[in-house]
Chain A
Amino acid sequence: MKHLLFRFFPLILLSACASTHVEPFKSASDVQNITPEESRVWLEADKYDMAMVNGGNTYDLQSANVYLQSVMDKVQPEFKGAIQVRIAKSPQLNAFALPNGVIYFNIGLLSRLENEAQLATVLAHESAHFTQKHGYKQRQNLKNTSAFGNFFSETLAMSSTYGYSRDLEREADQIAFRKIDKAGYDTSQAGEAFEILAEEAKAMGEEEPFFFSSHPKLAERIEDYQELNRNHKKGGLINKQRFDQFVGPLRLASLESDLSFDRQNVVIMVLTNEKRLANYPPEARYYLAEAYLRRGEKGDDQRAFAAYQTTLRAKPGFAPTYRSLGIYYLKKNEYGKAESYFSKYIQLAPNAADVDYVRNYVKLAKQGGAK
């Protein structure tokens, strides 16, 4: 059986290559004219998309959604109405395109980018996977080269989550570069976006599922964009302020999400980098303190305390810092200080979801102080 397979393998491969010519979409109107097989792929993607939306996995923060959609329409004006961008709640650094034209942008990735030109690059890259029908092409290749073609059909809708072949990714790079250039963005930002991500991917190791699925693939993206940019004119739109206006509020939500997903190491890595920290509002240091406490390594207690103190100075009205300092002192049996911080918390956030806990802690502090 093995010998037979080896004998026919080149033939199978050739037939696969021969049958994978797929006409890309040229504009939004083309999406009406798809083959029955493409419709099946489309339907699978629809099902996946519906499960994501129905399952509450997407953010409904309208201003950010509208902003991302507007950048998308700017880089792919021919596909206005055919490509939809959704913000996914996942803290992982990922974005992916479904074969039905829906692009998922994880809050984790979004919050790490620095400006609109970088955002436009990722959107242009992902949308190129859709316009060039890479999901469908990938499926065709798998079907033609595998004896278990149908096995892959169920996971097809997710295929772009894990990245495409080197050639397809390179094609998406080239298209994205042309698109962001045409839309007037500074193309040098394209490589920068991937460098930020590559740095994080390297620091987090293999454990972390990343954009383009792995660090080597990110390195390829950086090389591609550097090559494309080499002889290109300098300058163009960056739009940092506009990006911060719409994406800024999501950055704190992303830190909160990182902590609730037990990703304290990510939070520490991002917020101990002064350049990255500058993109976050002053209260971000509170999340750094929480991350230190969650990590619990030697010296983290002091690091957390220092970060709380910095937050207090930078943003004195940020209530959670008072609660955390109250807990800090309560555990050190410094009841007077604990009570004072808890009381301040209650004063600043009388309707907070956890205010009843804090009232109990005030009682504990009082009892402790009375002993």
Chain B
Amino acid sequence: MKNYLKYYLLVSLALLLASCASPTWVKISKDTRNISTDSFKVTVPQEWMHWAGGQNFETIKREKEYPVFLRVDRVYVTLDGKYLEQIEFIRYDAKDAFPYLKREYTSNMLPSEAADLYVSELKKSGMENITVIKNEPAMIAGKPGFRLLLNWKNASGLRVDRLIYGFGYKSSFYLLSYEAPNLYYYPKHLAAFTEAFNSFKLVEKKD
């Protein structure tokens, strides 16, 4: 019992210290808007908030299973909070590309097949009421991929839009997305996302 108590105290202390050492949300300035990860670099909008707390892992909670932690590279920013607008650039290992489906991205997968799997992945993750508005091919950082425009309504009837680009390259699968309520916010910040999207570049050293 005493050992458990010691363990929890130590873990709590470590978490406390870690949280003091690195603030989770960081305001993006002119000097910090170019963000590099191990696999890509991107220029994000100035004055937005960058979430620096979970760049390197993603938690997957499948039904009736223990949570799984995936290694990712992630850049996640918002201006007014995640319910109003969010931009995310994320890289998965190809084997973890569709974690809820437990399927991997394979090099012979065509962009339309990856798009269909991505939609299934969302449904499997619990977003059962999504509607696909557009599903078309796209070039992302010079690589062929898909462009999906999705929407859904939350329980109070508010329509939320998500624009998402996806592509696989070597042993990685990338998703670049912008999400916001259709009412006012989606059109307001679409240009900011487009600018960030156009700045997205792969860093070749990872692969």
Q: Chain A residues in contact with chain B, CB under 8 A? A: 50-51, 54-57, 89-90, 259-262, 327, 330-331, 353-354, 356-357, 360-361
Contact = CB atoms under 8 A, between A and B. Distances in A.
A89 B124 contact: no
A357 B112 contact: yes
26 contacts: A51-B155, A54-B155, A55-B153, A55-B154, A55-B157, A56-B131, A56-B152, A56-B153, A89-B128, A89-B129, A259-B120, A260-B116, A261-B128, A262-B123, A327-B110, A330-B110, A353-B132, A353-B135, A354-B112, A354-B136, A356-B137, A357-B111, A357-B112, A357-B137, A360-B111, A361-B110
Instruction: Using C-beta atoms within 8 Å of the partner chain, give the interface range for chain B.
Output: 20 to 34
A260 B144 CA distance: 23
Chain B CB within 10 A, most for which of A56, A261, A356 = A56
Given A55-B155, A56-B153, A360-B137, 10 more contacts: A51-B155, A55-B153, A56-B129, A56-B131, A89-B129, A90-B128, A261-B120, A262-B120, A357-B111, A361-B110
A360 B144 contact: yes
A357 B146 CA distance: 9
Nearest to B122: A260
A57 B137 contact: no
A331 B108 contact: yes
Contacts of B136: 353-354, 356-357
B82 interface: no
Contacts of A327: 110, 112-113
A258 to B, nearest CB: 11
Interface string B145-156: 010000011111
Q: Which 6 A-B pairs have the closest CB atoms?
A: A54-B157, A51-B155, A357-B112, A56-B153, A56-B129, A356-B136
B119 interface: yes
A57 B135 contact: no
Chain A CB within 10 A, most for which of B110, B135, B146, B156 = B110
Contacts of B108: 331
Contacts of B131: 56
Nearest to B64: A207
B101 interface: yes
Contacts of A50: 155
A88 to B, nearest CB: 10
A57 B128 contact: yes
Given A55-B154, A327-B110, A361-B110, A262 B124 contact: yes
B188 interface: no
Contacts of A51: 155-156
A356 B111 CA distance: 11
B71 interface: no
Contacts of B95: none
B134 interface: yes
Contacts of A261: 120, 123-124, 128
A89 B112 CA distance: 24
A204 to B, nearest CB: 15
A54 B153 contact: yes
A259 B146 CA distance: 19
A240 B84 CA distance: 49
A321 to B, nearest CB: 15
Contacts of A353: 132, 134-136
Interface in B29-86: none
